[in-house]
Amino acid sequence: MPNQTIQELLTTLNLKYEQVKLGGGQKKIDAHHKKGKLTARERIDYLIDTDSYFLEVGVFTAEGMYKEDGGCPSGGVVAGIGYVSGKQCMIVANDATVKAGAWFPIAAKKNLRAQEIAMENRLPVIYLVDSAGVYLPMQSEVFADKEHFGRIFRNNAKMSSMGIVQLAAIMGSCVAGGAYLPIMSDEAFIVEGTGSVYLAGPYLVKSSVGEDVDSETLGGAEMHCEISGVTDNKFPDDKSCLDAIKRHIDKIGSPENAGFDRKIAVTPARLPEEIYDILPTDRLKPYDMRHILECIVDASELDEYKPDYGKTLICAYARVDGWAVGIVANQRKMVKSGKGEMQMGGVIYGESADKAARFIMNCNQKKIPLIFFHDVTGFMVGSRAEQGGIIKDGAKMVNAVANSVVPKFTFIVGNSYGAGNYAMCGKAYDPRLIYAWPTAQMAVMSGATAAKTLLQIQTATLKAKGETITPEAEKALLDEITDRYNDELSPYYAAARLWVDGIIDPVETRRIISMGIEAANQAPIEQRFNVGVVQV
């Protein structure tokens, strides 16, 4: 059994997930059913293959955000990779129980993230459309910028040119600019009685041109399938429409293969659940990251690269569910350097960065996907580290990560602070998938360190003005800064803003890696690996 603190974190994770799955609440779900409609999650459950795994992306999107507007669970969108007729697909479904599926600013970011994953991995995309359009009180935050909703339709066009199959089902409202999404897909289906698509709804038509017209006449299934030709086929209900999508996906030809190596999978010698006992929730406690990795990789076997050099980073070849992988992971226990000096776990030293850069280059040379496991407090600091060239060593590692062309996957195990986040393939470095464990923390630095630093700055500012700060005021300020930082360190804060694709039970890590590489294997590597100018 996991220790109590880990168990509490997992319980919180599961409770939050169950709450999120209710979308806009049970009353909204009941109202949805009365209209003869399935909810977004019910549609996905019906669409994907029986007993198959659905890898959700952005389940905790908007967690704690938009409180003045009543919240926006999952950003009003359910998205993820699922198996349909045996094929991996990216599925994006509007949740009409959340503000009638209206598009909040974060919904744009989530839709774009789903499309990004599809484009990187050449996955077919299925859009289940049921949205009232832009959430008008926030229209200025979703309309005109590069990463706003117009980018979604631009991506529709780009994916079409790339040969990525896109199917859309209009299963509710589809209004204004949002009408372009399904109609820019390869094929667009519509559900009779509940589906409608138009650039302007009845109220806007009345106010704009003075015409009285009902929703069905304006943009219903019969009109669009028989008169306008905008939609390709109509179906009497949600299930029959979803059945048609299954039949179409079943007929798609096989994708090209990237050629990543896979053998018959071997289960880890250590149980995945052992992670609960190995990983301390106390961020200051050391542990051996090798033991964590042994719970994830096939037969618990790691073929380490330079095991006696740069020991605060573990670089190793391994297999996960049969797939060949290269692993870069922060070692969290104290280690002894080749010079006999003790080095702090979780810190990247010059030789560690140098080793990792070379290992990443090797994996690109051998066409081996990379997996990063974060528990990093940052790069080593101090005069000795600076004189040793820590910046150029770190730059070399960042360069290798940034220019890597093999698929990268990132898991935030514990700390992910400062430039350590960048060097270990944080979100800015294009991991194909990035997930956090419930023990994760992400920030420029720890709450305690940030609070002490800011306190020193503020105290110095007051002294420069000839003022002093009392011990009581100093403590109050320190507590205030620490509390604010600790809130922002939470993995849910990161997940709400899509800095990570979600928060997972650690035992799911192995399955997500396998599913991610399976997806990546459908997109051959077309770009040649070139790191450009490297600091030496």
Lowest pLDDT segment from 56-65, 130-139, 164-173: 130-139
DSSP category for residue 84: E
4-250 carries CATH number 3.90.226.10: yes
**Buried/exposed 133-172: b ≥16 CB within 10 Å, e otherwise:** bbbeebeeebeeeeebbbbbbebbeebeeeebbbbbbbbb
Sort 243 into a burial class: Cβ within 10 Å, 0-12 / 13-18 / 19+.
middle
Average pLDDT over residues 248-259: 94
Residue 3, pLDDT above cutoff 60:
no
Domain 272-440+500-520 class?
alpha beta
What string of DSSP letters covers 34-61? HTT---HHHHHHHHSPTT---EEE-TTT
The average pLDDT across 54-72 equals: 93
Q: pLDDT per residue over 452-465, tens digit each? A: 777 788 777 877 88
Of 409, 402, 407, 429, nearest to 524 by C-alpha is 407
Go through 198-207 and write b for each residue having 16 or more CB atoms within 10 A of its CB, e for each that does not: bebbbeebee
**481-534 pLDDT per residue, tens:** 788 788 888 999 999 999 999 999 999 999 999 999 999 999 999 888 888 887
Structure-block tokens of residue 256:
């090209």
Q: How far is CA 386 from the centre of its chain?
A: 34
β-strands 347-348, 378-379: how paired? parallel
Match 């066009």 to its residue by tokens.
Answer: 157
Between CA 518 and CA 514 the distance in angstroms is 6
In the chain, what are the domain boundaries? 4-250, 272-440+500-520, 445-489
Task: List alpha helices for 165-280, DSSP H.
Answer: 180-183, 202-209, 215-219, 221-223, 238-250, 275-278
Confidence of residue 251 (pLDDT cuts 50, 70, 90): very high
Mean per-residue pLDDT, 169-179: 83
Cβ atoms of residues 129 and 94 within 8 Å: yes
pLDDT in tens, 78-125: 999 999 999 999 999 999 999 888 888 999 999 999 999 999 999 999
Residue 381: pLDDT above 90? Answer: no
Mean pLDDT rounded to a whole number for the chain: 91
Cα 39 from chain centroid?
23
Looking at residue 2, its pLDDT comes to 52
In percent, the amount of the chain with pLDDT more than 70 equals 98
Q: What's the pLDDT band for 136 if we cut at 50, 70, 90?
A: low
Average confidence (pLDDT) over 290-298: 98
> What pLDDT was estimated at residue 137?
67
User: What's the confidence (pLDDT) of residue 177?
Assistant: 65
Helix 150-162 crosses helix 105-121 at what angle (to 10 degrees)? Answer: 10
Q: For residue 1, what pLDDT band results from cuts at 50, 70 and 90?
A: very low
39-53, 81-95, 279-293, 437-451: least confident range: 437-451
- Average the pLDDT over each of 138-142, 270-274, 406-410 and give the range with the smallest value: 138-142
Question: Which two structure tokens, joined as six digits, stand for 83?
Answer: 């198996």
For residue 175, what pLDDT band results from cuts at 50, 70 and 90? Answer: confident
pLDDT of residue 404: 97
